[in-house]
Structure 1
């Protein structure tokens, strides 16, 4: 029932945004900015950068509301995806600026080696594959919490389950994920 209502709200908000109704932007911001901010903050590690990423996501929504397709997913998911992209761009930009400033100061930049990049990419791919192969009830909870930055409470609301159930699914999913990663030879204990 709440999923149907949420979809209907997304359709209504999109129509209002296409008609340039500022009240729709305010409503969308009030509902979804906290989730987008949590995700951006996790990526950037900087509250100011996270705020910038969220602001850019909502500017995109305001300028091009027709790009949001309620049939493809929820407005929350779409805005989180935009904020995630902006946050990653900001992190990359900051990294490039630090490298440039280091070079200007005459110091050799400390960049990861090719080996570091290859190992990191391999581990990231293994994690994605292990998450993808989890049972759906675990996979959905982990995706909402770790890819979209939602809290336990928000995961529970999105899944339509009690908060304790959401926590249990996350714990069980993470435990299963750790077992599968260790079976593939990845040590998750840091030793």
Structure 2
């Protein structure tokens, strides 16, 4: 009898399922990771941009997420969802970690400027010039706060749609709710978020 796992090892990665690629990752086959990136990289990048709002950061987030997937491939549980959903969950977590870190830094800079007076604000801004993001970081914090203030049912469908990439039909299946209910919650939640954006970010530039 032939050993199917050894046979699988020598099959071209492009012809294998996502789950088979994860199994190959546990055997430290970096070609499998490259193939998963080819299949899911664009989706993960879009997700990272949606959360971090910065393309350069999104590239870093996706790289970190794939690195984590490589290290934890043996922990993937197909019973909890698809490989794509697993990668999206890791990407979302890494993106939110980065956004929270930005927020902490922005608050620290704001406190330092406030305690030391206007004379310190210019040097601080210059020190942060490579990022040019302090104000936008604070704005993103406010938007995140607005999202957190949404009713749980509305917030949940928006998070599933924009942070994990599920369609409304998939969200309905995930939540075991009628599709019409999901659409109503999505519409109401997005209207509230648009109102928040109009109020909090009226002068945001590109």
Please confirm whether the aligned pair reaches a TM-score higher than 0.5, indicating the same fold: yes
Deviation at 1:104, TM superposition (A): 1.8
Q: 1:77 to 1:97 in 2, by over 3 A?
A: same
Deviation at 1:117, TM superposition (A): 9.4
CA distance in structure 1 between the partners assigned to 2:104 and 2:35 by the alignment: 36
**Which of 20, 35, 41 is the aligned partner of 1:33?**
41
CA distance in structure 1 between the partners assigned to 2:33 and 2:98 by the alignment: 24
What are the residue-to-residue correspondences of 1:129-168 with 2, within 5 Å? 131=157, 145-149=161-165
Q: 1:188 to 1:12 in 2, by over 3 A?
A: closer
Where do 5+ consecutive residues of structure 2 fail to align?
Answer: 1-15, 119-134, 171-178, 200-206
Where do 5+ consecutive residues of structure 1 fail to align?
Answer: 1-7, 132-141, 160-168
CA distance in structure 2 between the partners assigned to 1:189 and 1:117 by the alignment: 12
Residues 39-69 of structure 1 deviation map (CA, whole Å, 9 limit, x = unaligned): 1100010011111111111001111211112
* Aligned 8 A contact 1:38 1:149 in 2: no
Structure of higher CA gyration radius:
2
TM-score by length of 2: 0.58
| Cα RMSD, aligned residues only | 3.9
What are the residue-to-residue correspondences of 1:121-132 with 2, within 5 Å? 121-128=148-155, 131=157
CA distance in structure 2 between the partners assigned to 1:48 and 1:40 by the alignment: 10
1:11 has 2:27 as partner: no
| Aligned pairs, number | 150
TM-score by length of 1: 0.62
| Higher relative contact order, chain-length normalized (CA < 8 Å, sep 6+) | 1
